[in-house]
Amino acid sequence: MSSLVRHVTIDCSDAYTLASFWARVLDAKLAEDDKPGAPEAVVDSPGASLLFLQVPEGKTVKNRIHLDLRPLDRTRDEEVERVIALGATLVDDRRRPDGTGWAVLTDPEGNEFCVERSQAEHEATRRLAE
């Protein structure tokens, strides 16, 4: 018998606030018992559950692991603009003139994540290459 990943766990200084940001990004909900000031908060979404744990130390270096987001109902560029409006910061723009590439952003606590092209954008690029 094998194991499965139950949560992706993210250390942070304010579990409820950061989980609330990610719940808006993923159009998901916080667990019913999550409240401001709690030492942990969970965002359940169809892709993966995220567990936010409050820790005393701050983030000091680049993440060793990060999330890659693929928008379902909008373009990569529309998704980048949407998550910036929610509080993310664009830190490295790797989008290319031909429409390929991705954008690297940080959440409100400085954790890096990427926004890739949507499935429709991938398919359109593939069709052009054929």
DSSP string, 18-77: HHHHHHHHTT-EE-TT--TT-SEEEEE-SS--EEEEE-SSPP-S--SS-EEE--SSS-HH
Q: Is the pLDDT of residue 128 over 90?
A: no
What's the whole-number mean pLDDT along residues 84-97?
97
- pLDDT one-digit tens code per residue, 4-29: 888 999 999 999 999 999 999 999 99
- State the pTM of this model: 0.89
Q: Is the pLDDT of residue 1 over 80?
A: no
Task: Identify the band that residue 121 occupies on the pLDDT scale cut at 50, 70 and 90.
Answer: very high
Long-range CB contact pairs, 13-17, < 8 A, 24+? 13/54, 13/55, 13/58, 13/109, 14/54, 14/109, 15/39, 15/40, 15/41, 15/52, 15/53, 15/54, 16/41, 16/52, 17/108
Task: Identify the band that residue 2 occupies on the pLDDT scale cut at 50, 70 and 90.
Answer: confident
Q: For the CA atoms of 54, 107, 86, 22, what is the dihedral angle to 10 degrees? A: -50
d(CA 14, CA 99): 36
Task: Identify the band that residue 112 occupies on the pLDDT scale cut at 50, 70 and 90.
Answer: very high
- The identity of residue 25, as a single letter, is V
Q: What's the chain's average pLDDT?
A: 92
- Phi, psi torsion values for 106, nearest 5 degrees: -125, 150
